[in-house]
Structure 1
Amino acid sequence: MTSNLVIGSTGVVGSHILSTLLADKSVSAVHTISRRAPKSTGPTLHPTVEADTTQWAAKLSAISPVPSTVFSALGTTRAQAGGIANQWKIDHDLNVELARAAKAAGVRRFVFVSSAGTRGMFSKSVPYSQMKRGVEDTVEGLGFETAIILRPGLILADREQPHQGGPFLIGAVRGLGRWFGQGMQDWVGQEGEVIARAAVHAAKLAEQGKAPGKYWVLEQSDIVRLGRTEWKD
């Protein structure tokens, strides 16, 4: 029976991580910290609503007993944040602060939803990749019992606030799956629910001592395997 914390529980992937954990009878408690209440509910849910993100690290540290696993699917867009500097504060700075708070509190496993291409040829000149790389490197360096990084491609999901051009792009990628097979779609993007299930599946394997190492990176093919091919409800 495990206790978990989900950061980013109102977002596309985070909301699926939350609903997946709430449906899991082996999970004793699911905590969330968010600016607004999550949509999912359940008897094991313990939500903390705090509009001031500077208080989130303290809220994390105050959770008792300490969650065994923290999932972070926290992220925003440049447009929603109001510029690259504000996006950096959320996607990088807040994630780094929460990872450090989790380690200090005694959390054993940390799962971070990053992005594909963070180590690509031109990634060092792309601010979004720089943000994700910085969080990945911090999480690796903190020395969790297990640190799990997911690097999905395009996240396929219907959003409350669609990105500019997002619905068209998502429709096109899903079209690849219909016309050329699921493998073609998986090569470009993964459904939000599949990414979430992969995160939960990987955390369970780590809890069972079955992770391949202390630092485990899931690329797109790994996400599809754990989140769909090998997933059992």
Structure 2
Amino acid sequence: MSSAAVIGSTGLVGSNILSTLLATGAYKPAHTITRRAPKAASPSLNAVVDTDTSKWAAALAALAPLPSTVFSALGTTRAAAGGLANQWKIDHDLNVELAKAAKEAGVKTFVFISSAGTRGFASSYVPYSKMKNGVEDAVKDLGFDHAIIVKPGVILGERETSRPAEGIAQTLVRGLGRLSQGVHDAVGQDAEVIARAAIRAAQLADEGKAPSKFWVIEAGEIVRLGRTEWPAKPAAEGATTDATQ
């Protein structure tokens, strides 16, 4: 069985990726590299904790067994990072550095959790979009066997640290859901569904069933892969899933 690594596993989507991997036993072991220990616990979890993010690329390359797939849900906000320059170092520079390290180490599949709407004419000039687009382009250009970009809309779920603007957006999306599930799904997706879509896409790539070497997954496919077609599987023996849902 192949192993996987999750970067950003203490965030909303990343914690759901990790807990789903542990619950399903889709990859063993599941590695993480974080600044603080993830909440999830399992015999199948290999958690590397290092507050110095400059060491993460080397730590990723040194993981044993080497993961066949790396999931990156790494990201922060301008406020949490202490300014745009610091946010860029994490959202863009660190993600690109990790992707390069993964490629050089021999990782086959790289899955990046990006964001919807970053390629529009106006939005592409926004710093947040430039960060996401820069990582997407780097992952594509590195030449992985499979590069998968997941682009959710509003991410629905409870974060450990609230984001006021996102909270307002979540309220609006949930309101739309009362009128139309289709509209709801097009605008926002649950973090658990996004996580499942990322995992299922990686599995399909492993099985040679990905539609292309560079696969961009947006709202409709997120819902299809992560909810409609998600296979029900029993939890892996000994795994617990106390990461944020």
TM range (shorter): over 0.9
State the percentage of identical aligned residues.
Answer: 64
Find the counterpart in structure 2 of residue 217 from structure 1.
Answer: 216
Of the structure 1 ranges 69-78 and 180-189, higher mean CA displacement relative to structure 2 is found in: 180-189
Find the counterpart in structure 1 of residue 130 from structure 2.
Answer: 130
Q: The residue matched to 1:115 in structure 2 has which SS?
A: coil
Find the counterpart in structure 1 of residue 201 from structure 2.
Answer: 202
Find the counterpart in structure 2 of residue 51 from structure 1.
Answer: 51
How far does the alpha carbon of each residue in 1:116-171 deviate from its partner, in whole angstroms, 9 at most, with x for none?
Answer: 01211213310000000000000000000000000100111111111123323212
What is the one-letter code of the residue matched to 1:160?
A: E
Task: Provide the rounded CA distance (Å) in 1 between the counterparts of 2:26 and 2:124.
Answer: 41
Q: The residue matched to 2:28 in structure 1 has which SS?
A: strand
Q: The residue matched to 1:165 in structure 2 has which SS?
A: helix
What is the one-letter code of the residue matched to 1:190?
A: Q
| Cα pair 1:33 1:56 within 8 Å, conserved | yes
Q: The residue matched to 2:24 in structure 1 has which SS?
A: coil
Residue 64 of structure 2 corresponds to residue 85 of structure 1? no
Task: Provide the rounded CA distance (Å) in 1 between the counterparts of 2:44 and 2:101.
Answer: 23
Q: The residue matched to 1:38 in structure 2 has which SS?
A: coil
Q: Given the superposition, is the C-alpha separation of residues 136 and 39 from structure 1 closer, same or farther in structure 2, using an over 3 Å criterion?
A: same
Task: Provide the rounded CA distance (Å) in 1 between the counterparts of 2:12 and 2:131.
Answer: 19
Between Structure 1 and Structure 2, how many residues are aligned?
232
Task: Provide the rounded CA distance (Å) in 2 between the counterparts of 1:230 and 1:124.
Answer: 32
Find the counterpart in structure 2 of residue 170 from structure 1.
Answer: 170
Task: Provide the rounded CA distance (Å) in 2 between the counterparts of 1:163 and 1:26.
Answer: 31
Q: CA deviation at 1:26?
A: 4.1
Task: Provide the rounded CA distance (Å) in 2 between the counterparts of 1:141 and 1:169.
Answer: 33
Of the structure 1 ranges 101-110 and 114-123, higher mean CA displacement relative to structure 2 is found in: 114-123
Residue 232 of structure 2 corresponds to residue 229 of structure 1? no
Find the counterpart in structure 1 of residue 239 from structure 2.
Answer: none
What is the one-letter code of the residue matched to 1:232?
A: P
Q: CA deviation at 1:34?
A: 0.3
Task: Provide the rounded CA distance (Å) in 1 between the counterparts of 2:57 and 2:188.
Answer: 32
Q: The residue matched to 2:29 in structure 1 has which SS?
A: strand
Task: Provide the rounded CA distance (Å) in 1 between the counterparts of 2:140 and 2:26.
Answer: 27
Task: Provide the rounded CA distance (Å) in 2 between the counterparts of 1:106 and 1:185.
Answer: 39
How far does the alpha carbon of each residue in 1:75-98 deviate from its partner, in whole angstroms, 9 at most, with x for none?
Answer: 001111111111000000000000
TM-score by length of 1: 0.97
TM-score by length of 2: 0.93
Stretches of structure 1 lacking an aligned partner (at least 5 in a row): none
Q: The residue matched to 1:211 in structure 2 has which SS?
A: coil
Task: Provide the rounded CA distance (Å) in 1 between the counterparts of 2:92 and 2:217.
Answer: 20
Find the counterpart in structure 2 of residue 116 from structure 1.
Answer: 116
Residue 42 of structure 2 corresponds to residue 42 of structure 1? yes
Q: CA deviation at 1:9?
A: 0.2
Q: Which has the higher contact order (CA 8 A, sep 6+)?
A: 2
Which 4+ runs in 1 deviate beyond 3 A? none
| Cα pair 2:115 2:150 within 8 Å, conserved | yes
What is the one-letter code of the residue matched to 2:65?
A: P
Stretches of structure 2 lacking an aligned partner (at least 5 in a row): 233-245
| Cα pair 1:158 1:167 within 8 Å, conserved | no
| Cα pair 2:154 2:166 within 8 Å, conserved | no
Q: CA deviation at 1:66?
A: 1.1
